[in-house]
Structure 1
Amino acid sequence: MDHPDPDAGPQPHRSLADQTYLRISDKIIRGEYAAGHRLREREISEDLAVSRIPIREALPQLEADGFIATFPRRGAVVRGFTLKDVEELFDVRLNLEVFAARKAAESVAAGGASPRLAELMDRTKAAMLADDVPAIAAANTAFHAEIIAMSDNSLLDTAMRPVLGRLRRLFALTSDRDPQAQYTEHLALSAAIRAGKPDLAAALAYAHIELGREPSLAQLAARIPAS
């Protein structure tokens, strides 16, 4: 199953498995399926009004993206999100996303286009003006996903799939962070990529990710377990 685009809900052009993945992951992010909750196919089928086939197809991607874990005899269980998970996520992002930002800028410098970055910045601004917190989180995730796509590196794209899944969860849990600060940092990073400046894009990507580490951990310290 292709990794679904995280910037919006289910849409007709997506496969039923992709739509099911998004609906289940959204319920996990919102806490409707809490950590430790056992995901029984029959119950999910009734809840989402879909057959068990797309559910079975969605479960492996949900596990790869860190939303669930599977156990003998117990089946699929919603995986908790810990401070250790957050630390590891930031560590991996500092390597993979910085590289992706550099490659995206190199692609633009070589004649590639980046129209969707500007579209996503406009979407974020509109969501901020509307004070639409879920839309802000979705647009921020989509922004990072677009930079990965612009790197035009299939191996990097594959490696980043589980990272983007966890990133969706992080952004949803830290939605109280100042959206204007993140928007300003995204705007500068977008400008560097669109100007085809690899060194600047890499530096801004590193700073953006590292600047988000302490505020995220501080906000989550009282809400999720350490490990």
Structure 2
Amino acid sequence: MARRDTRYREAYNRLLDFCATHAVGTDIPSETALCDMTGVSRTVVRRCLSRMAELELIAWNGREKHLLRAPVAEDRIALPDSADGREHLEQRFLDWVLRFDVPAGTPLSIAELARNFEVAQHDLKEFLAGLSRFGLVARRPQGGWMLRGFTKDFAVELSDFRLVLELDAVSKAVEAPVDHPIWPRLATLRNAHQNLSAQIETDFHEFSKLDEAFHEALNSVVRNRFIAEFQKVISLIFHYHYMWDKTHEKERNLAAINEHLAIIDAIEARDLQRATDAARKHLQTSKSTLLSSLRHHDLG
């Protein structure tokens, strides 16, 4: 389902909720007021009004609009899976932040962001409330939200926390039973890394996807509800940083491939010390690359 269609459906249902709280004959507010109420454009509002007029919910003649009957359940439009919407919003918002479109400390306009990201305002507020625990956004003392931004300090703290989480994952992978799903996944990842290494001259830009798959597989051995959300944000941020600085990209990606293979070798050998040393080396390299990317954008 197209994002704009989702916005239309949400706005339409919200207008039905508004009508349900008013008596038949009540005047419908102006299009501008309805835009503010629903967080969508005038074009979307007019589309909603057209449907409501077709269903004889309202009478609409120019600027004059009034309610003809109370809405019923059959008037509503089904919405897409909300989980898909949240995932899409998360990706778009992080893309916006991590591409440095706005500086740290910028106040956030809920109405404007809702229009830009094509989501309902209440969904955006819930998303920001959840994201605030990662330190990228914060509530303003005077009300509303502020972008704290992706800064050098944030990158250092995130990298250090990632080190703690992934070293724990490495230790659990080394100790995993023989029938654990991690073993076939590591075998598949080994082949994928070797294939990409052989094609590095032309396909080096494919590494970011492989890196994401590698770290996701590694962290999958840890079953902890508190860690899962942090891992998702960490994965997105480190995935994005490969797109920031293209300097020596091929050489950096080839080096990272070899570091991944060293970790796989050590885990498969159930050599905890070697696996820990290899993981620590790789994560330090990743941290250095991230900080280099920030300097490339004059943020570090």
The normalised TM-score by structure 1 is 0.72
Unaligned runs of 5+ in 2: 1-80
Q: Which residue of 2 aligns with 1:52?
A: 121
Confirm whether residue 92 of structure 1 aligns to residue 161 of structure 2.
yes
Q: Which residue of 2 aligns with 1:66?
A: 135
Counterpart residue identity of residue 94, structure 1: L
Alpha-carbon spacing, 1:61–1:184, altered in 2? closer, same or farther (3 Å): farther
- TM superposition shift of 1:35: 3.3
Task: Choose from 285, 291, 294 the match for 1:211.
Answer: 285
Q: Which residue of 1 aligns with 2:93?
A: 24
Task: Choose from 254, 259, 262 the match for 1:188.
Answer: 262
Unaligned runs of 5+ in 1: 1-11
- TM superposition shift of 1:71: 1.3
- TM superposition shift of 1:116: 4.2
Greater gyration radius: 2
Task: Choose from 253, 256, 266 the match for 1:179.
Answer: 253
Identify which of structures 1 and 2 has the higher relative contact order when contacts are C-alpha pairs closer than 8 Å and 6+ apart.
Answer: 1
Q: Which residue of 2 aligns with 1:4?
A: none
Measured against aligned partners, the alpha-carbon deviations of 1:187-218 in whole angstroms (never above 9, x if no partner) come to 22234335544333222111111233445434
Give me the CA root mean square deviation.
Answer: 3.5
Measured against aligned partners, the alpha-carbon deviations of 1:154-186 in whole angstroms (never above 9, x if no partner) come to 454356455445534544445545111112211
CA distance in 1, matches of 2:230, 2:97: 22
Percent of pairs with identical residues: 24
User: Equivalent residues in 2 for 1:1-227 (5 A)?
Assistant: 14-73=83-142, 75-107=144-176, 109-114=177-182, 115-117=184-186, 118=188, 122=192, 125=196, 129-132=202-205, 136-157=207-228, 160=231, 163-164=234-235, 166-168=237-239, 170-174=241-245, 176=247, 177=249, 178-221=252-295, 223-226=297-300
Counterpart residue identity of residue 148, structure 1: N
The normalised TM-score by structure 2 is 0.57
Please tell me whether the aligned partners of residues 137 and 145 of structure 2 are also in contact (alpha carbons under 8 angstroms): yes
1:16 is paired with a residue whose SS is helix
CA distance in 2, matches of 1:101, 1:219: 26
CA distance in 2, matches of 1:34, 1:121: 41
